[in-house]
Structure 1
Amino acid sequence: MLISAAAAFIGLFVVAISLIVMVIVGEDAEAIDLSDGGGGLQGVPAEFRSWILKADAECDQPAMTPALLAAQLWQESKFKTSEEEATSSAGAQGPAQFMPGTWTTWGRDSDGNGEVSPWDIGDAVMAQGRMMCSLLKQAKNSGYPGDVRALALGGYNAGWGRVVEFGGVPPQSFANGETYNYVQLILSTMKRFQGLGRLQVSGSGTGPDALRKAGTRMGTPYAYGGGGPSGPSTGFCDGNNGYSGGRCAASSTTGFDCSSLVQYAYWSSVRLPRTAAAQYGATSDRAVARADFQPGDLLFWAHSDGFVYHVAIYAGDGKVLHAPRTGRHVELAPLTSAMPQDDYLGATRP
Structure 2
Amino acid sequence: MLIGAVAVVLGLPLIAVTGLTAVVFLDSSAKAVASDGGAGLQGVPQEFREWILKADAACPEPEMTPALLASQLWAESQFKTSRAEATSYAGALGPAQFMPETWATWGRDADGNGVNSPWDIGDAVTAQGRMMCSLLGQAKRSGYAGDPRALALAGYNAGWGAVERYGGVPPRSFAGGQTYDYVHSILAEMPRFEGPGTLQVSGSGAGPDALRRAATRLGTPYSWGGGEPDGPSTGFCDGVNGYLNGSCSASHTVGFDCSSLVQYSYWPTTKLPRTAAEQYGATSDRAVSRNDLQPGDLLFWSHGSSSSIYHVAMYAGDGKVLHAPRTGKNVEIVPLATAMPERDYHGATRP
TM-score using structure 1 length: 0.61
Check if 1:133 corresponds to 2:133: no
C-alpha deviation, 1:200, in angstroms: 3.1
Does the 8 A contact of 1:77 with 1:96 survive in 2? Answer: no
Q: How does 1:299-318 map to 2 (within 5 A)?
A: 299-304=299-304, 306-318=307-319
My pick for the range that moved more, 251-260 or 334-343, is 251-260
Distance change (3 Å), C-alpha of 1:333 and 1:317: same
- Tell me which of 61, 71, 84 is aligned to 1:68: 71
Does the 8 A contact of 1:44 with 1:70 survive in 2? Answer: no
Does the 8 A contact of 2:72 with 2:186 survive in 1? Answer: no
Check if 1:259 corresponds to 2:259: yes
Give the 3-state SS of the residue equivalent to 1:34 in structure 2. coil
Percentage identity across paired residues of the two chains? 50
C-alpha deviation, 1:319, in angstroms: 0.6
Unaligned runs of 5+ in 2: 8-13, 21-32, 43-47, 109-115, 136-150, 159-168
Does the 8 A contact of 1:200 with 1:315 survive in 2? Answer: no
Structure 2: how far apart are the matches of 1:313 and 1:211? 7
Distance change (3 Å), C-alpha of 1:278 and 1:149: farther
Deviation string 1:91-147 (CA, Å, 9 cap, x unpaired) is 98788463415647xx4599xxxxx99658754434468698235967978689xx9
Aligned to 1:215: 215
Distance change (3 Å), C-alpha of 1:124 and 1:335: same
Question: What letter matches 2:228 in structure 1?
Answer: G
Give the 3-state SS of the residue equivalent to 1:218 in structure 2. coil
Question: What letter matches 1:322 in structure 2?
Answer: H
Aligned to 1:181: none
Which of structures 1 and 2 has the larger relative contact order (alpha carbons within 8 angstroms, sep 6+)? 1
Distance change (3 Å), C-alpha of 1:240 and 1:232: same
Structure 1: how far apart are the matches of 2:270 and 2:209? 11
Structure 2: how far apart are the matches of 1:200 and 1:57? 18
Question: What letter matches 2:313 in structure 1?
Answer: A
Aligned to 1:34: 39
Structure 2: how far apart are the matches of 1:47 and 1:228? 19
Does the 8 A contact of 2:73 with 2:95 survive in 1? Answer: no
Question: What letter matches 2:129 in structure 1?
Answer: V
C-alpha deviation, 1:247, in angstroms: 1.7
Check if 1:44 corresponds to 2:50: yes
Aligned to 1:250: 250
Aligned to 1:279: 279
Structure 2: how far apart are the matches of 1:73 and 1:321? 33
Give the 3-state SS of the residue equivalent to 1:197 in structure 2. coil
C-alpha deviation, 1:239, in angstroms: 1.6
Does the 8 A contact of 1:225 with 1:257 survive in 2? Answer: yes
Structure 2: how far apart are the matches of 1:348 and 1:109? 44
Does the 8 A contact of 1:200 with 1:316 survive in 2? Answer: no
C-alpha deviation, 1:73, in angstroms: 8.6
Distance change (3 Å), C-alpha of 1:5 and 1:140: closer
Aligned to 2:331: 330
RMSD: 4.8
- Tell me which of 60, 63, 78 is aligned to 1:57: 63
TM-score using structure 2 length: 0.60
Structure 1: how far apart are the matches of 2:70 and 2:287? 40
Aligned to 2:340: 339
Structure 1: how far apart are the matches of 2:71 and 2:339? 30
Distance change (3 Å), C-alpha of 1:202 and 1:70: farther
Unaligned runs of 5+ in 1: 21-32, 79-86, 111-115, 154-186
Q: How does 1:1-350 map to 2 (within 5 A)?
A: 11=17, 34-35=39-40, 43-45=49-51, 47-51=54-58, 54=61, 57=63, 65-69=68-72, 75-76=79-80, 96=96, 98-101=98-101, 103=103, 107=105, 123-127=127-131, 133-134=153-154, 135=157, 191=193, 194-304=194-304, 306-350=307-351
Aligned to 1:169: none
Distance change (3 Å), C-alpha of 1:212 and 1:70: farther
Does the 8 A contact of 1:226 with 1:256 survive in 2? Answer: yes
Deviation string 1:12-55 (CA, Å, 9 cap, x unpaired) is 679xxxx99xxxxxxxxxxxx93499xxxx9434642335674x
- Count of matched residue positions in the alignment of Structure 1 and Structure 2: 270
Question: What letter matches 1:34 in structure 2?
Answer: A
Distance change (3 Å), C-alpha of 1:117 and 1:325: closer
Give the 3-state SS of the residue equivalent to 1:199 in structure 2. coil
Structure 2: how far apart are the matches of 1:240 and 1:335? 26
Give the 3-state SS of the residue equivalent to 2:260 in structure 1. helix
Distance change (3 Å), C-alpha of 1:150 and 1:240: farther
C-alpha deviation, 1:212, in angstroms: 0.9
Distance change (3 Å), C-alpha of 1:272 and 1:5: same
